[in-house]
Structure formats: C-alpha cells, structure tokens
Amino acid sequence: MTMPTIDDLVADLRPVRRLSPHAGLGLTFAMLLLVTALVLGIFGPRDDVASMRPAVIVLLRGGLCLLLGVAASVAVVAAARPGVGARRDGWQWALAAAALIPAASLWLTMAGDGVREPVSFYGPACLVISLVSALLIGSALVVWLRRGAVTDPVRAGWLVGLAAGALGTFAYSLHCPTTTVHFVALWYSLTIAVSSAIGRLAVPRLLHW
C-alpha cells in the first residue's frame, strides 16, 4: 500500500471565491428594503412619515432600531469569515443605546406617568408583523452564513436574531400608530428579545456542515 503524497491529496482541490462582506450586507439591506416595502404596501405608512415630517419619537425609535440592526448585521456578516484578533463588538454599543428607551420608560413610570397604551390592540400587531419581517431578514442572513465558516454558531444565532429583530421592528416602526415611550419600551424590546431567542435556538442547527 502506497502512502498518498501531498500532490495526491491536493489534486482535486479547487480555489474558491472569497466571501465579500459588502455582498453580505448588500443581501441584508436588499431584504430590508423588500420587507419595508411589503409592510408599507400592506399596512401603509404613518401620516407623518408619508408627509416626510415624522415625529421625534418616530425618528428616535426607528433610528435606534436601524442602528442596532446594522451593527448586528455587520457582526453576522463578519462571522462567516472568522479571523484572529478581529473584533466586531459595535453591536454591543448600539444595544446599550437602544436600552435608553426602556430606561426612560422605567423612569417615567416611577415618576407616576401612566402606562395604559402599551397594553392596547397595537401591541400584538407590532409583535406579529415585526417577527414576520424579522423571519424574512433572518433567512437572508442564515443563507449568507451557510456560505462561510462559522466558528461559533451559538453567538451567530444570537446575532442573527438580534439583527433581524431590530431591522424587522424598524420596518414596522414606519407604520406603527403609537408614539409613547412606554409602548416602544415594551413591545419593541419584547419583539427584539423574542427574535434573539428564536435565533439562538434555530440558527445553530442550520449552520452545521
């Protein structure tokens, strides 16, 4: 029995194209645009969004969700191309910034501000529409990750859920009729948390080779 040589071992190998982070982010943003168009096409935009004069709370909640979603998406895309010493922790700062809204809601509650609106009809609608949107965006991120070599599927699962939840909630925020800090703190946070948990449970199973 002859021992295989190095030439024999590499004879069938073929070069592969390197994954471009720009392509991964492009895929994610294309899906975000599609989801946003679907939400606005089916449910319609807020009046102030349609007139290009959004309320301050609409700008804040949408901006924070978009910031968190983009930062987490960058980390997800980078996870497909692991590298020694590379740090992709910008999403942690974005998450800390987004936590300011729940903190503000808690402060106002302690100060005696009413919290009746968060339990209104719009809450479940926010959760369902945002999670369906997150599912579509998360699917695109999983497709991208499966093309690469993920070394930490659990972390990748959390990040996919976080990114998809934040971006899906951003899409819904352009329609969301409510403008209270308490509603945003409860339902937007709940949506992102649920999406992150789903990502943690489902995504690692989809990344096994």
Write out pLDDT tens, residues 51-66: 999 999 999 999 999 9
Residue 179: is its pLDDT beyond 90? no
At 118 the pLDDT is: 53
Among left, alpha and beta (phi > 0; psi -120 to 50; other), residue 74 is alpha
**Across all residues in the chain, what is the average pLDDT?**
86
**Mean pLDDT of all residues in 141-170:** 93
pLDDT in tens, 77-133: 988 876 644 556 788 999 999 999 999 888 888 877 655 555 567 889 999 999 999
Q: How far is CA 156 from CA 67, 76, 136, 180, 203, in A?
A: 18, 6, 17, 32, 8
**CB neighbours (10 Å) of residue 74?**
20
For the entire predicted model, the pTM comes to 0.86
Secondary structure (DSSP) of the chain: -PPPPHHHHHTT----PPPPHHHHHHHHHHHHHHHHHHHHHHH---HHHHTT---HHHHHHHHHHHHHHHHHHHHHHHHTS--TT----HHHHHHHHHTHHHHHHHHHHHTT----GGGSTHHHHHHHHHHHHHHHHHHHHHHHHHTS--S-HHHHHHHHHHHHHHHHHHHHHTT-----HHHIIIIIHHHHHHHHHHHHHHHHHHS--
Exposure string over 173-184, b if 16+ CB within 10 A, otherwise e = bbbbebbbbbbb
At 129 the pLDDT is: 96
The structure tokens listed for 22 are: 């720009």
**CB neighbours (10 Å) of residue 161?**
27
